[in-house]
Amino acid sequence: MCLDCGCQLAPALTRDFPRSPSSETNTIMRDLLADNDALAQRNRDYLDARGVVAINLMSSPGAGKTALLEATAAALQGEINFAVIEGDLATDNDTQRLRARGIAAQQITTGSACHLDAGMVSAALDEIDLNRIELLFIENVGNLVCPASFDLGQHRNVVLLSTPEGDDKPAKYPVMFRAADILLLSKADLLPLLGDFDPARAERCLRDLANPAPVITLSARSGTGLREWCDWLRAALGAEALRASGSKTNAPAST
């Protein structure tokens, strides 16, 4: 149970469980999110001033976020420099994995919190040499619910749905999938073994949420889809550079 975000107090949308939060709870949660949003915008301004584009990677636990970062580092070597902020409840396993491959990584261990927030990211930013990078990945805590509600100061949201999870997840976790600027259907190498994951159905579930984001079927293991993913990253960097040269900073579409 999340002790930080109050998710256990959120109203359940079912006739059998008609629980609604008190007005006091509503006020506390609104204040909490407003404070977070203000700090997130400070993070974004800080990153913009240094020409760094931040990407919030979200998925359920084990969908392949760290494996994707490892494969991305290999694919972009010598072209785009990036660092990673790693979010987990416990251990620095992922940070150690990335550092072993020469990727600059900074761990946040959240203890009991099931998501990162802007304050945690702000503290981690102090530990990263932003002068050496153009791109910052923030690997959020594995969770398909709360991370989508907390702006961190990122410029884009990337959501992974791994094939063993089933193709109906966008329908079941709409808040997360509405927030996606791109959907990666990960572990595509397992498609022939699973037999019942239909990428077209997963995409239809996303479109039913009125989200027009691109969908890439990808495998960090086989390399399928990595070229399209890297092209999307290049386009995001280009778009942000253009925006920074002309106008004000933008939050991702739906945080």
Ligand X SMILES: Nc1nc2c(ncn2[C@@H]2O[C@H](COP(=O)(O)OP(=O)(O)OP(=O)(O)O)[C@@H](O)[C@H]2O)c(=O)[nH]1
Using CB under 6 A, pick the residue from 56, 59, 95, 255 that binds ligand X: 59
Residues binding ligand X: number (CB under 6 A): 17
Residue 147 as a binder of ligand X (CB under 6 A): the answer is no
Q: Which is nearer to Mg ion, 94 or 240 (CB)?
A: 94
Which residues, numbered 75-114, are part of the site for Mg ion (CB under 5 A)? Answer: 94
Nearer to ligand X, 148 or 220 (CB): 220
Binders of Mg ion in range 47-66 (CB under 5 A): 65-66
Helix 226-246 / helix 65-76 crossing angle, nearest 10 deg: 80
Binding of residue 67 to ligand X (CB under 6 A):
yes
Stretch that binds ligand X, among 55-63, 98-106, 127-135, 245-253 (CB under 6 A): 55-63
**Overall size of the chain counted in residues:** 255
Structure tokens at 109: 């261990």
| Binding region for ligand X (CB under 6 A) out of 28-36, 48-56, 65-73, 171-179 | 65-73
Note whether 255 binds ligand X by CB under 6 A.
no
84 or 216, CB closer to Mg ion?
A: 84
Q: What are phi and psi of 72, to 5 degrees?
A: -65, -40
Region 144-203 residues binding Mg ion, contact defined as CB under 5 A: none
Nearer to ligand X, 142 or 153 (CB): 142
The answer to whether residue 56 forms part of the interface with ligand X (CB under 6 A) is no
| CB 97 within 8 Å of CB 149 | no
> CB 99 → ligand X: shortest distance, Å?
15
Task: Decide: 220 and 186 in contact? Cβ < 8 Å.
Answer: yes
β partners of residue 83: 104, 136
Cβ-based neighbour number of residue 239 at 10 Å: 14
Question: Considering only residues 40, 44, 64, 176, which one is a binding residue for ligand X as defined by CB under 6 A?
Answer: 64
Q: Is 186 in the site for ligand X (CB under 6 A)?
A: yes
Q: Which of 20, 34, 42, 61 binds ligand X (CB under 6 A)?
A: 61
Q: In the range 98-127, which residues lie near ligand X by CB under 6 A?
A: none
Question: Interface residues with Mg ion (CB under 5 A)?
Answer: 65-66, 94
